[in-house]
């Protein structure tokens, strides 16, 4: 989405992620652009909302020109939900959270042992039906820790217990998995390039695995975490009987633990290739071409903190822009990184909304107008 100002004006590229709980990436770009225009009416502005594979990935693709497609799929609790994916030509962007995300759980209700990912598989199948031959699977914000078992079942795998019955949904029942037959997987998958896009590189199991690190965010108690980790370990052992040693190797591969182990299911059974989510999305969204004319890049997200340094959107944007010699500044809700650390990742200066409005509740409620004020300061300081 581009908005050209006065001919010959300086060109600003806005490539920011969402401010979680306040603004989508599209809304962030709109407010930053409004503030820039007030301070510099002659500026040329290109807005390219970005995402790192988690919540908002489909919205970012649609803002970049992809078509939104909507499907009714199975939600994490087994009830139908409406989910979207994005399509342009034969390339699809599928966001796991759209089908199997925490957003589909009732407020305050978690299902750490029984939430499943069947709907994610249904969404992938819909993308194949629409003609996609390259599929970016963005994972993050999941409600489940099932190792992608539900996703595989929706795509034709048969996962059964000791009685030959289909396994119940969720990570807990994986402890009773007796056989994994992958021969029925959708044959189109062998002709499809599947890219696993994630901002985390955790293994499947162990102290840094899917259950231990992310299970508590999905309502898992310490006992649940122990049970889920053991179930995922058993799952990998059973899959090894079907696909061979690579099942064990992939369990420790970067990204295997992403989104409750959906990464593992995609890697070991669907032939996916793992790439950092922001790198994938910058390619898909056409960031390099948008950068060609930019004199300044404005990136950002709700909180610039230690996690930003590990695959989050602002760090990826700054890295790509720095390689091209284009300066980068960031906007954010709160900032906990020092100027030296910011410079280290290629961000010359950060503008936190909390400096303008210290009250956290007000800062979130008024994030849009505050962003416009901050964007005026950016224009005055850098343009």
Model confidence pLDDT, tens digit, residues 176-224: 999 999 999 999 999 999 999 998 899 999 999 999 999 999 999 999 9
pLDDT at position 127: 98
Residues of the chain whose pLDDT is less than 50? Answer: 1-8
Count CA within 13 A, CB hemisphere, residue 324: 19
Element (DSSP H or E) covering residue 100 = helix 96-100
Bridging pattern class, strands 328-335 and 296-304: parallel
Question: What number of H helices and E strands is found in the chain?
Answer: 14, 14
pLDDT at position 209: 97
**Burial zone of 201 (CB within 10 Å; 0-12 exposed, 13-18 middle, 19+ buried):** middle
Q: Helix or strand or coil: residue 5?
A: coil
pLDDT at position 41: 86
Bridging pattern class, strands 179-181 and 158-160: antiparallel
pLDDT at position 3: 43
pLDDT at position 4: 37
Bridging pattern class, strands 2-3 and 80-88: unpaired
Domains of the chain: 2-48+288-382 (3.40.50.10350), 57-278 (3.90.1510.10)
pTM (2 d.p.): 0.91
Q: What residues pair up with 300 in beta bridges, in sequence order? A: 331
Model confidence pLDDT, tens digit, residues 317-338: 999 999 999 999 999 999 999 9
């Amino acid at each position: 989405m581009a908005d050209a100002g006065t001919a010959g004006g300086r060109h600003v590229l806005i490539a920011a992620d969402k401010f979680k709980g306040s603004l989508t990436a599209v809304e962030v770009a709109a407010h930053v652009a409004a503030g820039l225009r007030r301070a510099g009416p002659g500026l040329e502005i290109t807005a390219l909302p970005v995402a790192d594979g988690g919540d908002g990935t489909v919205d970012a693709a649609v803002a970049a020109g992809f078509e939104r497609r909507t499907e009714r799929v199975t939600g994490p609790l087994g009830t139908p939900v409406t989910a979207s994916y994005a399509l342009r030509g034969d390339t699809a962007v599928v966001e796991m959270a759209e089908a199997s995300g925490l957003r589909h759980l009732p407020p305050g209700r978690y299902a750490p042992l029984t939430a499943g990912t069947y709907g994610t598989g249904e969404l992938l199948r819909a993308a194949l039906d629409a003609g996609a031959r390259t599929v970016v699977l963005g994972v993050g914000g999941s409600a489940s820790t099932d190792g992608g078992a539900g996703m595989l079942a929706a795509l034709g795998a048969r996962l059964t217990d000791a009685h030959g019955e289909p396994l119940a949904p969720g990570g807990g029942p994986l402890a009773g998995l007796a056989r994994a037959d992958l021969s029925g997987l959708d044959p189109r998958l062998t002709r499809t390039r599947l890219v696993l896009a994630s901002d985390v590189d955790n293994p499947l199991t162990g102290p840094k695995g899917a259950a231990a690190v992310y299970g508590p965010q999905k309502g898992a108690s310490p006992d649940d975490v122990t049970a889920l980790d053991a179930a995922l370990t058993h799952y990998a052992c059973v899959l090894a009987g079907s696909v061979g040693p690579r099942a064990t190797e992939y369990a420790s591969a970067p990204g295997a633990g992403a989104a409750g182990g959906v990464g593992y299911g995609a890697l070991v059974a669907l032939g996916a290739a793992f790439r950092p989510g922001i790198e994938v999305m910058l390619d898909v969204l056409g960031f390099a071409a948008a950068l060609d004319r930019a004199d300044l890049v404005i990136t950002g997200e709700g909180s610039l903190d230690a996690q930003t340094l590990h695959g989050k959107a602002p760090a990826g944007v700054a890295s790509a822009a720095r390689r091209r010699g284009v300066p980068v500044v960031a906007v954010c809700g709160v900032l906990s990184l020092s100027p030296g650390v910011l410079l280290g990742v290629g961000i010359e200066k950060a503008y936190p909304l909390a400096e303008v409005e210290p009250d956290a509740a007000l800062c979130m409620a008024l994030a849009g107008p505050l962003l416009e004020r901050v964007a005026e300061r950016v224009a005055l300081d850098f343009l």
